[in-house]
Amino acid sequence: MKVAIVHDVINQYGGAEKVLEELRAIYPDATIMAPSYHPDLLPPRFRDWGIRTSWLDRLPGANRFHRIVFPLYPFAMQSLVTDGYDLVISSAFNFAHNVTTGPDTTHVCYCHSPSRFLWDFDAYARREGFGKVKRGLIAPFLPPLRGLDIASAQGVDHWIATSDLVQRRIRKTYRRRSALIPPPIDINEFHVAPRHDGYYLLLMRLVGWKRADVAIEACNRLGLKLLVAGDGRDTARLKQMAGPTIEFVGRVDGARKADLYARCAAFILPAIEDFGITPLEAMASGRPVIALGQGGALDTVRPGVTGEFFAEQEAGSLAGVLSGFDPDAYDPQAIRRHAAQYDRTVFQRRIREEVARAMRRQGRAPGSAPDRPARPAEPQLVA
């Protein structure tokens, strides 16, 4: 079976790129495609994949000014050649599902979210700090891009969502049903420590919408020790507001990251995530999670078992939970067992099952060409 995996622009290493790695692990001979690829911003192993890119990647200045050329991405996606592939899996958080496939190709979209830039622009613009001029320049492009996005979505044969929140977005935006397969973690990368060291932990890209400031201000008020792992354009501002109990440790990975998780009193998630991998990594380390009660955290945090929620995305709400929080009231092994449901082995099995289901709907058997005329896929339109 000839497989292609199409990803949105590959210009950072985050949760979506970890999913891309898992998809490639399932289909190691797959062709990896993206409209644009920035190898210097990715782990070296990505350079061995032979990633195929579009004309956009060769446009002068496109890599450096990728936000300016954003309206061109749907057309760059459509230019990627998928002729002759039995299966195309698009890993989409913006436009990857816009890739064009023929009638003999099964197109499965693993959707991290419909593009928030298109479908929740006001919130996106606020969190990115867009001024009135920038908003005004972008606004005329939104209606035609939304129309193109909806039309392209109908070319997907089978949708997979990362969370209940994303399922609802797909249903509302594209009027399509979707399966639910959460992104994976590798539970074997993490361990449970014999005891915690009493500090709270943030691990994230330090950008405005992630709201690290909420956790920093809450720990300032209570005099709690907080380790902030990660970097980003908001780092300088956050350091200015941090009190003496806040420590910035920079970007961490591998054994250092696993150790920080294992020894924290609890992991704090102040952001509204589409799903959220870092809370599960903390749980794989046996540590409870204190999360904002919105977004993907609602799928993974179990109050009283794996952590707690705070209600509002502001420091007072988080401080109210932290002030009465007892990290020793949670069973580390029970938390780790919960996280095991999201292990990469489970993800790989479920992806294979969904792909097989999608191909059967088109009268195709995974791994072979159809031995009878393909019947039309059953409609997924929401009544």
pLDDT score for 367:
56
Q: What share of the chain is helix, strand, coil (3-state, %, to 5)?
A: 45, 15, 40
Indicate whether 380 belongs to any domain. no
For residue 159, what is the DSSP state? E
Indicate whether 377 belongs to any domain. no
Indicate whether 383 belongs to any domain. no
Amino acid at 318: L
Indicate whether 368 belongs to any domain. no
- For residues 290 and 270, the answer to whether their CB atoms sit within 8 Å is no
What does each C-alpha distance from 17 to 1, 331, 348, 353 come to in angstroms?
23, 31, 15, 21
Residue listed under structure tokens 């009465």: 324
Both 302 and 352 in one domain: the answer is no
Both 82 and 158 in one domain: the answer is yes
Both 156 and 204 in one domain: the answer is no
Mark residue 82 as left, alpha or beta (left: phi above 0; alpha: psi -120 to 50; beta: remaining): alpha
Indicate whether 252 belongs to any domain. yes
- For residues 280 and 296, the answer to whether their CB atoms sit within 8 Å is no
pLDDT score for 62:
62
Give 230-268 as a DSSP string.
---TTHHHHHHH--TTEEEEE---HHHHHHHHHH-SEEE
Kindly list the averaged pLDDT for each block of 10 residues, start to end, along the chain of length 383: 94 88 96 91 89 88 67 91 96 94 95 91 79 86 93 96 95 96 96 97 92 97 97 94 97 95 98 94 98 95 97 98 97 98 97 95 64 40 39
Indicate whether 306 belongs to any domain. yes
pLDDT score for 26:
97
Both 259 and 291 in one domain: the answer is yes
Both 158 and 279 in one domain: the answer is no
Both 334 and 354 in one domain: the answer is no
Residue 287: what are its φ and ψ, rounded to 5°?
Answer: -105, 140
Both 113 and 209 in one domain: the answer is no
Indicate whether 299 belongs to any domain. yes
What does each C-alpha distance from 154 to 41, 149, 151 come to in angstroms?
33, 9, 6
pLDDT score for 381:
42
> CA torsion angle for 25, 28, 33, 38 (degrees, to 10)?
60
Both 106 and 207 in one domain: the answer is no
Both 179 and 287 in one domain: the answer is no
Amino acid at 144: P
9: domain range?
3-184+344-361
CATH number for 307:
3.40.50.2000
Indicate whether 369 belongs to any domain. no
Mark residue 274 as left, alpha or beta (left: phi above 0; alpha: psi -120 to 50; beta: remaining): alpha
**Residue 149 exposure: Cα atoms within 13 Å on the Cβ side:** 25
For residue 95, what is the DSSP state? S
What total number of domains does the chain contain?
2
- For residues 111 and 40, the answer to whether their CB atoms sit within 8 Å is no
